[in-house]
Amino acid sequence: MNRPASVATLVLLALIGASATYVLQRSSAPQIANEQRLLDSRQLLDVMPAALYDNQPLEQPLTLAEPVLRYSTLSGGYRATRSGQTVAVLLRSRSEGYAGTLELLIAIDANGKLLGVKTLEQRETPGLGGHIGEWPNAWLQAFIGKSRTEPTDADWALKKDQGQFDQIAGATITSRAAINAIHDALRYFDEHRALLLGTDP
């Protein structure tokens, strides 16, 4: 085989390769973006049972009034509906943990009861407070069904602080931050109920 023909074959090969990759990339970019969005929303929304709602909550963001709370800050909210009726509100809450920001996604149903809590971001000590980042999470599941008034304000604390909740072993500050953030979110829901549920005229 002579040299020019060999070089020509190589150039042709490179052209075919580059264009094939380009065409495939262009044609599948929308699908990939769509898949990514689906995956992201599934990861966020497994905080509550999928049978509960029939809309795309992440596409219905809420504007939150006065998002700075006592122990935490709400950075966003979403509304989950079923046949047009609001069934749950999701609140993104940021608070200070032991080693950095602790970001929780808190799902509250229309009656003000907690549906689930999921950790979105944490920098706690691996092996101790870091357990809060695991999913499914037995410790966070203990809060399901609780509301602002049930238990009472004094009981919304760790057993160490004369409350009724266990703490994550060896991570008092992390546990305290999480409990306060959850209680804050429930209180916020109670105070802004009509606005969050969309029943405001």
Partner 1 sequence: MKRTVRLLMLVPLLGATQTLNAALGMILMLSVVIGLFAVCMASLRNHLASTSVLLASLVVAATLTSCADLSAQRWFLPWRQTSEVYIGLIALQCVALECSGFLRAPMTKCLKRCVMFGTLMLVTGGLREIIGHGTLGRGLSTHWPGLVLFPEGLHLFTLVPGALVLSGLLLAVHQAWTRRHSVIKETHRP
CB within 8 A of 201, min separation 6: which ones?
none
Nearest to partner 1 of 21, 75 (CB atom): 21
Q: CA 200 → CA 40, 58, 74, 147, distances in Å?
A: 30, 21, 20, 22
Residue 17 or 100: which CB sits closer to partner 1?
17
State how far the alpha carbon of 62 is from the alpha carbons of 15, 80, 147, in Å: 49, 11, 21
The distance of closest approach from Cβ of residue 31 to partner 1 in the complex, given in angstroms and rounded to an integer, is 5
Q: Measured between alpha carbons, how far is residue 7 from residues 11, 15, 17, 19 in Å?
A: 6, 12, 15, 18
Listed residue (85, 84, 89) closest to 47, CA to CA: 89
Shortest reach from residue 162's CB to partner 1, in Å:
33
For the bound state, the minimum distance from the C-beta of residue 130 to partner 1, rounded and expressed in Å, comes to 13
Secondary-structure percent of the chain, ordered helix, strand, coil, rounded to 5: 45, 20, 35
Give the binding site for partner 1 (CB under 8 A): 1-3, 5-7, 9-10, 13-14, 16-18, 20-21, 24-25, 28, 31-32, 35-36, 39
Tell me the torsion sign for CA atoms 159, 165, 169, 170: negative
Closest to partner 1 by CB, 35 vs 150, is 35
Compare residues 3 and 51 and give the one whose CB is closer to partner 1: 3
Compute the least distance from the CB of residue 59 to partner 1, in Å: 20
Q: How far is the CB of 168 from partner 1 (least distance, A)?
A: 17
Angle at 13 between CA 11 and CA 17, to 5 degrees: 120
Nearer to partner 1 among residue 32 and residue 65 (C-beta): 32
